[in-house]
Every structure is written in C-alpha cells, then in structure tokens.
Structure 1
Amino acid sequence: MPPFAEATRMSMGRRSVRAGWLVLGLIFVGLGFIGTFVPLMPTTIFLILAAACFTRSSPRLEAWLLNHPRFGPTLRAWRAEGAAPRGAKIAACLGMALGYGLFWLAVRPGLWLGLAVASVVAACALFVVSRPSPGGRNGV
C-alpha cells in the first residue's frame, strides 16, 4: 500500500475514534441534563464521564464543562483530587437509600436478591463516602 494511503487510513481511524468519544460525551451531557430534573437520576457522574470523553475529542467542550458556573467546580475537584463535596456525598447516599427503598417496595425481592442489591448499593455508598472532600477536608 502506498505511504499516502496508509497515512490516510490511519488518520480516518483516529477521526472515527475521536468522533466516537465526542458522541459519547454528548450523550453523557444529555443524561446529566436529564438528571438535573429527574429525581434519583444522577447528574455529576454523567458530567464526569462527559468531561473524560471530551478530553479525548473536543478541548473546547471540555473547557466549557470545566468552566461551567454550576458544575465546573465539582468537575475540577474530581479531576484534581478525586474529591466530592460533602453535600454531594450526602445527596448521593440519600438517593441510593431512596432508590433501594423504592426497589424493595416495587419489586418485593426475595431474600438473596434483596441482599445482593443491598450489597451493591452499600459498596457504592462506601466508595462515595471514602472520597476526599475538596481541599483535603475530611468528613462525609
């Protein structure tokens, strides 16, 4: 294959991957936007994922998210320190507890399914609570 054709094929492959990251980032922004209005649907995790996708596809959209007046500080804290604000941790844990309660009432799971789902929810809550607070402050 001529060198020009090989370079063009590689370039098209990179553009396809970049476009895929861009589309995925836009989907995550859309889900995060929906989460601002729908109870129990998370917002921040989708925006964290969107920022990661935009890192690989669109520096302009990444900068827009990181400089957003409402979500930017949380996204920057997560990126810099893996940190989550105390209020976000509390809201996440309350949302998980409420979600599990609704699951329990709606599904009426058997003992083993109920325990399995409770274990997953508890593991997620422990992960959230174990994240540092921005600026190195400890606490829930």
Structure 2
Amino acid sequence: MRMLWAAAGAVSLMLGVIGIVLPLLPTVPFVLLAAFCFARSSEKLHDWLLAHRTFGPMIVDWRRNGAIHRRAKLAATASVGLVFVVSLVLQLPAHVLLIQAITLSGVMVFIWTRPEA
C-alpha cells in the first residue's frame, strides 16, 4: 500500500511542477496532495518535501492556518486570467465561456479569501 501512496505522491508532485509553467494546472493543490500521499508512504519523502525550498513553505502555511502566500495568489490570478484570455482568443462558444467564467471566479474567490502567510 505504501508503494501506491508513494506513486500517487510522485504523480501529484510532477503535476504540481508542470503547473508552475502550464497555466491550466494548479501547483499548490497538487503539492498539498503530494504531501498527503508522502505522509502515508514514506517519512523520508514527506520530510524532504516539507524541507524543499520552493514547496515546503506552501505546505507549512496551509497546514498552520489554511494560508496561501500572496505570490501564489497573484500567480494563480495571472494563470486564470491567461486561461480565460486564451479561451476568448480561441472564440470558444458563449456557454463554455460562461461556465469557465463562473468556475474560475469561484476558484479566485476561494483563493483570495484564504489568509495570507
């Protein structure tokens, strides 16, 4: 079972890393999921992730007070905005744009109502 948790953690972490450069994938939720999976698979992997210079602070901030750092909020906002602009440029159907706008607005409300680290 530990191997499955480790594999799920590795996949989640890879998706989080891809999310750094790909606006469609959110980084923080995948990193948090990786920490959850690593905690169940390997204390060594979990400790490594918590000590990581880039990913560790976001995990600690979330665990302590459900906080998201301002830089992460700004990056998420820019990413969401870019995705929506691309959808507009691609001239997606109005109903798709409406669904996307409602969903992305909900995500932004959630992110910006979290405390800051």
Runs of 4+ aligned structure 1 residues displaced above 4 Å come to: none
Residues in 2 aligned to 1:43 and 1:129: alpha-carbon distance in whole angstroms: 16
Query: Counterparts of 2:79 and 2:12 in 1: how far apart (Å)?
Result: 19
Query: Match of 1:126?
Result: 109
Distance (Å, rounded) in 1 between the aligned partners of 2:91 and 2:30 = 26
**What CA distance in whole angstroms lies between the structure 1 residues aligned with 2:79 and 2:47?**
29
Alignment partner of 1:61 out of 41, 45, 48: 45
Q: Distance in 1 between matches of 2:92 and 2:19?
A: 26
Report deviation, 1:42: 3.1
Aligned residues: 116
Provide the TM-score with structure 2 as the length reference.
0.89
The counterpart of 1:93, out of the listed 55, 77, 84, is 77
Amino acid at match of 1:120: T
Bigger CA radius of gyration: 1
Unaligned ranges ≥5, structure 2: none
Structure 1 residues 59-101: Cα deviation after superposition (integer angstroms, max 9, x where no partner): 1111101111222111111111110011111111111011111
1:6 aligns to what?
A: none
Rounded to whole Å, the distance in 1 between the matches of 2:52 and 2:82 is 29
Percent sequence identity is 37
Task: For CA contacts below 8 A with separation 6 or more, give which structure has more relative contact order.
Answer: 2
Query: What corresponds to 1:70 in structure 2?
Result: 54
Unaligned runs of 5+ in 1: 1-15, 135-140
Query: Hey, what's the Cα distance between the residues in 1 that align with 2:111 and 2:10?
Result: 25
Matched residue, 2:15: 31
